[in-house]
């Protein structure tokens, strides 16, 4: 059943994205769908059940707008630092605690750090910290304040803990 849904989804997506109904393109589409389906079955992608992605739907828009504002402000800050004659930069490498609750939240946190100009998430440390490189240490102080992590925790789902069976 999953294979049929995969084939139908890819065929519809191919038709929507190409917009052409010429024989040559349709044949290439059928061959592409067949190849991807064969690879998915061979790799057992359809039988593997990973962690489903859950997030609080309306909170994600609030987070995206906040992140867009932070990216804009960071762009302005980095541009000012570069255009000044004395270039007031102090590159710093520091571990920042990844406080979001889920693996998905920590991945979003690291990606958001990297999306913000002037900072780059380099690596997760074994104790769930993130090694961050910053153009100036002020950026790290903002991360340590925890505002970004708080916004991400708002996006994460809030599940009630399961009670142990009697």
Q: Does pTM top 0.75 for this prediction?
A: no
Please report which confidence band the pLDDT of residue 164 belongs to, taking 50, 70 and 90 as the band edges.
Answer: low
Please report which confidence band the pLDDT of residue 158 belongs to, taking 50, 70 and 90 as the band edges.
Answer: low
Proportion of the chain above pLDDT 90, given as a percent: 27
Rounded Cα distance between 108 and 131, Å, is 15
Section 31-37 average pLDDT = 93
Rounded Cα distance between 135 and 78, Å, is 8
Section 51-80 average pLDDT = 85
Is the distance from CB of 92 to CB of 108 less than 8 angstroms? Answer: no
- Give the single-character DSSP code of 96: E
Nearest-10 Cα torsion for 117, 134, 128, 62: -30
Q: Which residues pair with 109 in a beta bridge?
A: none
Mention every residue, 6+ apart, whose C-beta is less than 8 A from residue 142.
Answer: 148
pLDDT of residue 31: 94
Other beta carbons within 10 angstroms of residue 149's beta carbon come to 22
Q: Which of 43, 26, 35, 28 is nearest to 7 (CA)?
A: 35
Rounded Cα distance between 93 and 136, Å, is 10
Section 72-79 average pLDDT = 92
Q: Sketch the domain layout of the chain as residue ranges.
A: 2-42, 57-155
Rounded Cα distance between 137 and 41, Å, is 49
CA atoms within 13 A on the CB side of 85: 0
């Amino acid at each position: 059943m999953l294979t049929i849904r995969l084939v139908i989804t890819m065929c519809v997506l191919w038709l929507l994205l190409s917009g052409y109904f010429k024989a040559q393109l349709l044949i290439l589409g059928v061959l592409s769908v067949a190849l991807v389906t064969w690879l998915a079955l061979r790799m057992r992608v359809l039988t593997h059940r990973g962690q489903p992605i859950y997030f609080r739907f309306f909170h994600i828009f609030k987070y995206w707008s906040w992140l867009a504002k932070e990216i804009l402000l960071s762009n302005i800050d980095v541009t000012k630092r570069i255009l000044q004659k004395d270039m007031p930069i102090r590159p710093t490498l520091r571990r920042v605690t990844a406080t979001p609750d889920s693996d998905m939240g920590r991945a979003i946190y690291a990606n958001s750090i990297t999306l913000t100009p002037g900072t780059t998430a380099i690596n997760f440390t074994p104790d769930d910290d993130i090694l961050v490189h910053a153009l100036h240490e002020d950026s790290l102080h903002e991360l340590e304040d925890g505002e970004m992590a708080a916004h991400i925790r708002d996006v994460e789902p809030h599940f009630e803990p399961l009670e142990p069976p009697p």
